Structure 1
Amino acid sequence: MTLHRSAAKLALFSLVAATTVACARAASTTDDPPEGAYIALDGGRVHAVVQGEGPDLVLIHGANGNARDFTFDLVGRMAQDFRVIALDRPGFGHSDAFGGPESPLDQATILRAAVDQLGVERPLVLGHSYGGAVAMAWALQAPDDVAGLTLLAPAVYPWPGELGLWYQLSSSWLGQNLVLPLVAGLAPRAAVERSLEGVFAPNPVPEGYLDHLGFDLTLRASQLSLNARQVDSLKGYVEAMSGGYPALDMPIEIVHGDADTTVGLSFHSERMADTLDNANLTILPGVGHMPHHARPEDVAKAIRRTHARATAN
């Protein structure tokens, strides 16, 4: 009993200390102000960055990211030919949490409602990594209202085995209530830089990327907590969703690096290309999990191919 009480006191003390530091850090997120505008919906606001004119192109970021991942390069590159709409998923970046949706389908519903207020009709939808699952959920919900899909290293099918120890811990009660608040409050910049290097490997992290993405913006405890729950629950959701993929007939272009150690090429992109006649896969040799940064023009070409195929139908 004494041991349990001591452990409880230690956990409570650590949690209070971490929360205090995290709150101080959260106040500094004004260094990463919104780049776009807010779209008000029932339950909260969605932050959207809109640039360019032309056919609508919606961009959906991956796990623990935000729209700034795309405004670093891809938005400006594609705004020459499209009206590009980069969205912060609910609870990420500057979008409100909307209760913290864990399902890609729930997230897609919110994002669809947001772009509807912008007058978007039959957009091209691009999803990167976890955002690929949200893009597929969008297409399943509104197959006649999606012109085409471009998927970058997408997590869209169930994979063998389980996630690593970090996600098992971070999605647990201990992780949600103690570990992640500590990470949010105390993680040094060097640790975040090393994490990014692992995501980008074997390609280098572009100079200035972390500052553009927003160091403090990505280390909020609420975002880390939501991200952990979403990633931990994703396998079950894509397993349920994948049975509906063969009914989709819009053009799908997939870009995936063969050196990606975050989302397995064979389990996701190659499986989709082998299963769906309307899916075309481009494999980039020597490219890791961030093809839109390592090979941005190849990604731009894939988006243009999606549009060309969509308008040819």
Structure 2
Amino acid sequence: MLARRPVRTIMIILISSILLLLAGLAVWTRLKAREIEARHPPTGEMIDVGGYRLHAVHVPRPEGADLPPLVFIHGASGNLLDQEVPFRPKLEGRAEMLFIDRPGHGWSERGDAANNTPDGQAAAIARAMQAKGISSAIIIGHSFGGAIAASFALAHPQMTEGLVFLAPATHSWPGGIAWYYGLTRTPLIGPLFANTLALPAGLTRLESGSACVFAPNPKPVDYVDKTAPALVLRPQAFRNNAIDVANLKPYVTRVAPRYTEIKSPTVIVTGDSDSVVLAHIHSEGLARDIDGAELVWIRNLGHKPDHVTTDLAVRAIEKVAGIDVDLKVAAATAEASLATDNAVCPG
């Protein structure tokens, strides 16, 4: 009996220490999340889409616009700045634009369980467009945003003037997802992880992780400051992102066979050195499934054609809009600019 007391005492001390550590991490996470929010405040407006609000930057249609309205959908772990930063300077004065924080990302509210899959998020984006008086648009989707763009075209063909996919994630793939996505989406352990360990661990990987997404192309020095990926490390946003990613594979497995129904003009821009999504599955799959789609392969391009080959992406938008554009020439120009890129993922 006496021998058990030291063991029991040690266990009590150990458990108490763990609980104190977790409580400390939770407080630190809350304070750090507020600091991140203060550094990256909302820059647009909140649009009511039926019981919850999406944060969006709306650029009104300019006089003399030569392009239809453009709607930009960001990928996983991102927010609207990831598309606004590269595209707005290139396209301002040419089109009405809507840059949207997807439900539960950036400064947008999550809404209900329908937004746990791309079709629900596509419906929310459609309502945001209608709220701003946009009856139809070219939909531009990067990475995870590609699955939403495809879902948008399926559900709202009359609102889809065209599609531009940039390194899209749209089809089922071999293997699974990173362990922390599966952990974070679980009911009990997930919130605990998101509120204690995810943010401090994520901050240590923010620069290197972003560099890996860009590789073999160099990450812009100011990318993290300008596009605010740290916003996804806030506990609820982190959980929303994990749910999105964990649900993507079963969703596209079910929906991808319907891509043959898409009739909108389509261009797909992808790189042969993308280490995030398997271009030969997703991009080639879209080109196979969507009748008339044009696939533009770029040698030595990673997962960020939106930032690395923005001019080519603009040419793709022009092509979808009906402007006479030779994308082969544009692709050759892009490839020439990337020929010597050899940035390495920090690991």
TM-score (norm. length: structure 1): 0.91
Q: CA RMSD in A?
A: 2.5
User: Which residue pairs with 1:21 in the alignment?
Assistant: 28
User: Which residue pairs with 2:207 in the alignment?
Assistant: 193
Report deviation, 1:191: 2.0
When residues 4 and 295 of structure 1 are mapped into structure 2, their CA distance, relative to the original with a 3 A threshold, is farther
Distance 1:27 1:96 in 2: 17
When residues 52 and 120 of structure 1 are mapped into structure 2, their CA distance, relative to the original with a 3 A threshold, is closer
Structure 1's unaligned 5+ residue stretches are none
When residues 6 and 282 of structure 1 are mapped into structure 2, their CA distance, relative to the original with a 3 A threshold, is farther
When residues 20 and 125 of structure 1 are mapped into structure 2, their CA distance, relative to the original with a 3 A threshold, is same
User: Which residue pairs with 2:45 in the alignment?
Assistant: 37
CA contact (8 A) 2:232 2:241 kept: no
Report deviation, 1:55: 1.8
User: Which residue pairs with 2:344 in the alignment?
Assistant: none
CA offsets 1:79-133 (integer angstroms, 9 cap, x no match): 2321111000011111111136211011111111111010001110011100111
Q: Which has the higher contact order (CA 8 A, sep 6+)?
A: 1
User: Which residue pairs with 2:111 in the alignment?
Assistant: 98
1:234 aligned counterpart, secondary structure: helix
When residues 16 and 265 of structure 1 are mapped into structure 2, their CA distance, relative to the original with a 3 A threshold, is same
Q: How does 1:191-230 map to 2 (within 5 A)?
A: 191-214=205-228, 216-230=230-244
User: Which residue pairs with 2:158 in the alignment?
Assistant: 144
Structure with higher Rg: it is: 2
Distance 2:180 2:223 in 1: 24
User: Which residue pairs with 2:124 in the alignment?
Assistant: 110
Which residue identity is paired with 2:75? G
Report deviation, 1:183: 3.7
Q: 2:324 matched to 1:299?
A: no
Which residue identity is paired with 1:256? T
When residues 276 and 42 of structure 1 are mapped into structure 2, their CA distance, relative to the original with a 3 A threshold, is closer
When residues 291 and 10 of structure 1 are mapped into structure 2, their CA distance, relative to the original with a 3 A threshold, is farther
Q: 2:277 matched to 1:263?
A: yes
Distance 2:238 2:155 in 1: 27
User: Which residue pairs with 1:69 in the alignment?
Assistant: 82
Distance 1:3 1:276 in 2: 64
When residues 286 and 174 of structure 1 are mapped into structure 2, their CA distance, relative to the original with a 3 A threshold, is farther
Which residue identity is paired with 1:45? R
My pick for the range that moved more, 181-190 or 155-164, is: 181-190
CA offsets 1:124-178 (integer angstroms, 9 cap, x no match): 0011100111111111111122111101111111112222334333334565123
CA offsets 1:248-275 (integer angstroms, 9 cap, x no match): 1111110011100101011100122123
User: Which residue pairs with 1:288 in the alignment?
Assistant: 302
CA contact (8 A) 1:52 1:79 kept: no
1:81 aligned counterpart, secondary structure: coil
CA offsets 1:183-220 (integer angstroms, 9 cap, x no match): 44423744210111111111111121101122542321
CA contact (8 A) 1:122 1:145 kept: yes
Which residue identity is paired with 1:308? G
Distance 2:258 2:283 in 1: 16
Aligned residues: 310
Distance 2:43 2:11 in 1: 48
Distance 1:89 1:7 in 2: 42
Which residue identity is paired with 1:49? V
> What percentage of aligned pairs have identical amino acids?
32
Distance 2:15 2:178 in 1: 27
CA offsets 1:32-64 (integer angstroms, 9 cap, x no match): 121211112332211111225252100000001
User: Which residue pairs with 1:129 in the alignment?
Assistant: 143
Distance 2:32 2:264 in 1: 44
When residues 8 and 284 of structure 1 are mapped into structure 2, their CA distance, relative to the original with a 3 A threshold, is farther
